[in-house]
Amino acid sequence: MRYETERTRRRGHADTATDTLARGLGIFSIALGIAEIAAPRALARALGMKGQEGLIAGYGVREIATGIGILASKDPTPWIWGRVAGDGLDLATLATALEGRNPKKGNVGIAIAAVAGVTALDVYCAQTLSRETAYPLPPMQDYSDRTGYPGGIEQSHGAAQDFEVPRDFRTPEAMRPYTQPQVPQRPMPSM
Amino acid sequence: MKALVWHGTTDIRCDSVPDPQIEHPRDAIIKVTSCAICGSDLHLYDHFMPGMKSGDIMGHESMGEVVEVGAESKGKLKVGDRVVIPFTIICGECDQCKRGNFSVCERTNRNGHIAAKAFGHTTAGLFGYTHLTGGYPGGQAEYLRVPFADATHIKVPSTLSDEQLLFLSDIFPTGWQAAVQCDIEPTDTVAIWGAGPVGQMAIRSAILLGAKQVIAIDRVPERLDMAKAGGAITINFDEESVIERLNELTNGKGPEKCIDAVGMEAHAAGTVDAMYDRVKQATMMETDRPHVLREMAYVCRPAGTLSVPGVYGGLLDKIPFGAIMNKGLTIRTGQTHVNRWTDDLLRRIEEGQIDPSFVITHTVGLEEGPDMYKIFRDKQDGCIKVVLKP
């Protein structure tokens, strides 16, 4: 089966498991970004990072931008790598909160573990996507003889013009002239 | 008997279940000789359609041999008859059936009150397609109970194979109705979104009905290959702009007739509206992803027609009704009135105008059904249409 291996899967297709994961990460990114922008004070308090509210909100903007990039692009690969870079930044920022006499070090430890978990998922997703092909695949099966017309297309084209379209399925009479062959039109007068 | 049974999202199993019995004098039991997995079954597999219960038997494209007939169906059916079973269960007697609007039969949906709550009115009972449409056991099984069997059947001759006849149950009349809804003129360009089984039948129907130009839009190479074989010009939406290409092929005027053979699970990576739908669907704020409807409304020629055989289930967001209204577009949609078309289509198969078996890419036993759902959903192995042999 062609789509079974990473090298032969078509990157950016919504119906492969890795792309589903990528979309999930995109939605997660937007949700986290909204939380960071909506409640930077609460987050700073929980992590003992008072005075860093602006930075947290800034990270929220970054998360939302990355999430939109993942969901809106045909190929989410560079955006997922962008998430990996952002994860590094998050971990470095959280590491600074472990220094000194921060009373919320326990919360920071939990946050670092959570970010590390998501980073692992991001790295796995980015690596898998990078191994998939970004180029169109030729048909695996040749269906070029599957016409469906036993006597050939020329014989079947228009063969059902004897069919009378029921009244309730017909184009309204007022619209009908528009789709009929038109007499040559005079050029539009210049305004 | 063996049957394909729904147990939850992406969980379909081949189980042993009790044989069906005659429950009403209008019933019949058929021994299924062939059945198929339909694209709309995937909406149940992925659980985008509400109303399924664990233990429901799947399937609404079946044919076989009559093995038992209830007392009130005996005038119309007898043991040994070879029949295709339409996916819509019809009484043949209500106001809608008398008008030929079989898919909105007023009497066969035994859960009509639920459908009426969701849709305003009841629609017909369907085989194997949620409790919203009656919760009737489906035909991906060794035997099938056919309610209202005196009306719900298509008798077929022994001179044609199962493969040539099976699709009279759904996809052939569905593709045909999609094209008929377009009221095709010999000068028309017909653009068809989705080259799955219904799209393939819509392409052939538009050709039979004499369209000047048929254009198929998809991104799966095998589907585009098959669409081309059927006489369509193809657009791979991963490679080129659908709107630009359609305008180019119609001298900037747009196609007169547009068919949505995709429905609620449109894939359109890289567009803003697709991203919007993904987020809203993931947060349960929207049930369907109507990218195709939006694109059709935008590109269709003014005074043209949008024909929608693709299945939608609930609430759709950001539909450009301004474009639809101001361009004077006609929208025709609905589940298929199968029996309205099947006499005519059977004649066309017999006369050799079309052989619907072209669409079959996989034929397997019932036990392999659960695996085939996944392969079909993921478009693996060049899979376009699966026939199951119980």
Q: What is the DSSP string of B274-293?
A: HHHHHHHHHTTS-S-B-HHH
Average pLDDT of span A88-110:
90
- The answer to whether residue A166 neighbours chain B at the CB level (below 8 Å) is yes
| Least confident span in B88-102, B279-293, B366-380 | B279-293
Q: Does the structure show a pLDDT above 80 at A102? A: yes
Whether A163 sits inside 8 A of B305 (CB atoms) is no
Secondary structure (3-state) at B136: strand
Q: Which of A164, A171, A180 best tests the B interface by mutation, with the highest count of B CBs <10 A?
A: A171
Beta strands (DSSP E) in chain B are: 2-8, 11-16, 28-37, 56-57, 62-69, 82-85, 88-89, 125-126, 143-146, 154-155, 189-193, 213-218, 233-236, 257-260, 305-308, 330-333, 362-365, 386-389
Please name every residue paired with B65 in a beta bridge, in sequence order, or none if there are none: B31, B82
CB count within 10 Å of CB A88 equals 12
Secondary structure (3-state) at B215: strand
- The answer to whether residue B379 neighbours chain A at the CB level (below 8 Å) is yes
ipTM for the whole complex: 0.91
Distance of CA A43 to the CA centre of its chain: 28
Contacts of B350 in chain A (CB under 8 A): none
Whether B267 sits inside 8 A of A13 (CB atoms) is yes
Contacts of B224 in chain A (CB under 8 A): 139
3-state SS of B334-351 is CCCCHHHHHHHHHHHHHC
For residue B212, give the nearest of B235, B189, B180, B242 by alpha carbon.
Answer: B189
CB–CB of B305/B258 below 8 Å? yes
- Taken in order B216, B220, B222, B223, the sign of the CA dihedral is negative
Contacts of B352 in chain A (CB under 8 A): 150-151
**Portion 75-134 of A in contact with B at CB < 8 A:** none
CB–CB of A11/A132 below 8 Å? yes
**Portion 252-311 of B in contact with A at CB < 8 A:** 256, 267, 269-272, 274-275, 278-279, 282-283, 302-305
Supply angle C-alpha A163, B98, B49, rounded to 5: 85
Average pLDDT of span B252-268:
87
- Distance, in angstroms, between A142 CA and closest chain B CA? 7
Q: How far apart are CA B220 and CA B40, in angstroms?
A: 18
Q: Find tokens 């690969």 and name the residue.
A: A77
Confidence band, pLDDT 50/70/90 cuts, at residue A4: very low
| Least confident span in A4-8, A170-174, B224-228 | A4-8
Which has the higher per-residue pLDDT, B217 or A178?
B217
pLDDT score at A19: 82
What DSSP character marks residue B305? E
- The answer to whether residue A139 neighbours chain B at the CB level (below 8 Å) is yes
Confidence band, pLDDT 50/70/90 cuts, at residue B263: confident
pLDDT in tens, B282-324: 666 666 778 899 999 999 999 999 999 998 877 888 889 999 9
Q: Is B8 exposed, middle or buried (CB count within 10 Å of its CB: 0-12, 13-18, 19+)?
A: exposed
Considering only the beta carbons, identify the residue of B228, B256, B354 that sits closest to A156: B354
- The answer to whether residue A169 neighbours chain B at the CB level (below 8 Å) is yes
Distance of CA B165 to the CA centre of its chain: 16
Secondary structure (3-state) at A20: helix
pLDDT score at A1: 31
Q: How far apart are CA B293 and CA A70, in angstroms?
A: 24
Alpha helices in chain A (DSSP H): 17-38, 40-46, 53-72, 77-96, 105-131, 153-156, 176-179
- Distance, in angstroms, between A181 CA and closest chain B CA? 7
Tokens of A103: 């009373």
| Angle, helix A77-96 to helix A105-131, in steps of 10 degrees | 160
Element at B299 (helix H, strand E): helix B291-299
Instruction: Give the alpha-carbon dihedral of A133, A75, B214, A160, to 10 degrees.
Output: 80
Contacts of A183 in chain B (CB under 8 A): none
Backbone angles phi, psi at B314, to 5 degrees: -155, -110
Q: Is A38 exposed, middle or buried (CB count within 10 Å of its CB: 0-12, 13-18, 19+)?
A: exposed
- Distance, in angstroms, between A98 CA and closest chain B CA? 35
| Angle, helix A53-72 to helix A17-38, in steps of 10 degrees | 150
For residue B35, give the nearest of B73, B2, B76 by alpha carbon.
Answer: B2
pLDDT in tens, B167-185: 999 999 999 999 999 999 9
Whether A148 sits inside 8 A of B181 (CB atoms) is no
Distances (CA, A) of A22 to A28, A69, B4, B280, B286: 10, 11, 32, 16, 20
Q: Which of A146, A153, A180, A183 best tests the B interface by mutation, with the highest count of B CBs <10 A?
A: A146
Q: How far apart are CA B111 and CA B133, in angstroms?
A: 6
pLDDT score at A138: 65
Confidence band, pLDDT 50/70/90 cuts, at residue A99: confident
Query: pTM for the full model?
Result: 0.81
| Least confident span in A103-107, A179-183, B334-338 | A179-183
Q: Which residues contact B248 (CB under 8 A, 6 or more apart)?
A: none
Considering only the beta carbons, identify the residue of A73, A137, A156 that sits closest to B270: A73
Q: Does the structure show a pLDDT above 70 at A182? A: no
Backbone angles phi, psi at B71, to 5 degrees: -55, -40
Q: How far apart are CA B295 and CA B255, in angstroms?
A: 12
What DSSP character marks residue A140? S
Q: How far apart are CA A101 and CA B222, in angstroms?
A: 63
pLDDT in tens, B113-143: 988 998 899 999 999 999 999 999 999 999 9
Q: How far apart are CA B33 and CA B172, in angstroms?
A: 19
Confidence band, pLDDT 50/70/90 cuts, at residue B1: very high
Contacts of B173 in chain A (CB under 8 A): none
| Least confident span in A8-17, A142-151, B370-379 | A8-17
What DSSP character marks residue A173? T
Confidence band, pLDDT 50/70/90 cuts, at residue A2: very low
CB–CB of A92/A117 below 8 Å? no
Whether A149 sits inside 8 A of B355 (CB atoms) is yes
Considering only the beta carbons, identify the residue of A139, A147, A169 that sits closest to B181: A169
CB–CB of B57/B4 below 8 Å? yes
Element at B242 (helix H, strand E): helix B242-249
Average pLDDT of span A130-159:
86
pLDDT in tens, B372-382: 999 898 878 88
Secondary structure (3-state) at B315: coil
Whether B303 sits inside 8 A of A178 (CB atoms) is yes
pLDDT score at B223: 93
